[in-house]
């Protein structure tokens, strides 16, 4: 392809530590902010509403129901609980990374509720199969457990050693249940790098050690200025 050029990376043959011989590729561990909270969680939400029909009546009714549930389970002043109150609903919109955990939680509550399942089965033939709804519940529950574990301050070594197989199972769920139909689907770097998370954790520690959310807060004024250029 004319747009692709083979450029030599000066850092490619350098070894960044005794734990890896991957060169510059081994120095860039996957971090949760962009890969999961801003990567896979928005994708799950978008794929779910795409399956409902982005402009369908069921999507609008589910979005309204999710807003009501979000108010009912609102965290009040407890900052350890994800934000669940979204005035515009959860169907669309770009949010902050930390808010997507609450989006997934509210979506899970909506899907598990009798009223939510009634809307899904009545308005959409796809969800008349109860197994599809169960699959989505399993995926969302697993995702919430996964992100909660990844945010742990400490992890037993035996759990990290056993997590490669678990991560592969999570990837399998994503591919079977929330695989998007547009573009390159899940053939992305963010999806592939989940396979490398266990070795990154062995090399650098718990994922919070390489989390970038706090550094992101430091250049908010610069981002606002850059938007005008």
Reading the block at residue 10, the tokens are 């000066």
In the prediction, which pLDDT does 2 show? 63
In the prediction, which pLDDT does 178 show? 92
Are 64 and 178 contacting, i.e. CB atoms less than 8 angstroms apart?
Answer: no
Domain housing 177:
29-210
Q: Is residue 108 part of a domain?
A: yes
Q: Is residue 78 part of a domain?
A: yes
Q: Is residue 218 part of a domain?
A: no
Q: Is residue 81 part of a domain?
A: yes
Reading the block at residue 41, the tokens are 């969680």
Q: Is residue 21 part of a domain?
A: no
- Alpha helices (H) in the chain, listed in sequence order: 32, 41-52, 57-72, 100-112, 114-123, 130-150, 157-177, 189-192, 197-204, 213-216, 220-226
Which residue shows structure tokens 């573009």?
A: 183
Domains held by the chain: number: 1
φ and ψ of 83, to 5 deg: -70, 130
Please state, rounded to an integer, the average pLDDT across all residues of the chain: 87
Pick the most confident of 4-8, 189-193, 218-222. Answer: 189-193
Q: Is residue 91 part of a domain?
A: yes
DSSP string, 127-155: GGSHHHHHHHHHHHHHHHHHHHHHT-S--
Q: Is residue 144 part of a domain?
A: yes
In the prediction, which pLDDT does 48 show? 94
CA 38, 39, 42, 46 torsion-angle sign: positive
Q: Is residue 18 part of a domain?
A: no
Reading the block at residue 36, the tokens are 């999961």
pLDDT at position 138 over 90: yes
Whole-number Å distance between alpha carbons of 10 and 7: 9
- More reliable by pLDDT, 93 or 126: 126
Whole-number Å distance between alpha carbons of 175 and 177: 6
60-119 confidence digits (pLDDT tens): 999 999 999 988 888 777 777 888 888 788 987 778 888 899 999 999 999 999 999 999
pLDDT > 70 fraction of the chain, expressed in percent and rounded: 98
Predicted model pTM: 0.85
pLDDT at position 42 over 60: yes
161-213 confidence digits (pLDDT tens): 999 999 999 999 999 999 888 888 898 889 998 998 998 898 889 999 888 87
């Amino acid at each position: 392809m004319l747009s692709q050029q083979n450029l030599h990376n000066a850092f490619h043959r350098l070894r960044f530590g005794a734990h890896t011989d991957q060169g510059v590729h081994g120095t860039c561990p996957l971090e949760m902010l962009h890969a999961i909270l801003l990567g896979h969680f928005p994708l799950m939400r978008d794929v779910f509403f795409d399956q409902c029909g982005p402009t369908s009546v069921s999507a609008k009714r589910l979005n309204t129901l999710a807003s009501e549930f979000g108010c009912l389970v609102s965290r009040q002043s407890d900052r350890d609980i994800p934000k669940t109150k979204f005035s515009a609903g959860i169907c669309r919109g770009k949010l902050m990374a930390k808010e997507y955990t609450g989006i997934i939680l509210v979506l899970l509550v909506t899907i598990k509720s009798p009223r939510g399942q009634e809307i899904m089965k009545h308005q959409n033939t796809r969800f008349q199969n109860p197994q599809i709804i169960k699959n989505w519940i399993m995926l969302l529950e697993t995702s919430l457990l996964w992100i909660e574990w990844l945010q742990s301050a400490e992890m037993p070594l035996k759990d990290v050693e056993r997590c490669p197989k678990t991560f592969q199972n999570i990837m399998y769920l994503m591919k079977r249940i929330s695989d998007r139909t547009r573009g390159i689907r899940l053939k992305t770097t963010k999806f592939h790098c989940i396979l490398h998370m266990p070795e990154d954790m062995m090399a650098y520690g718990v994922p919070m050690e390489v989390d970038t959310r706090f550094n992101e807060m430091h250049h908010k004024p610069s981002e606002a200025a850059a938007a005008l250029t």
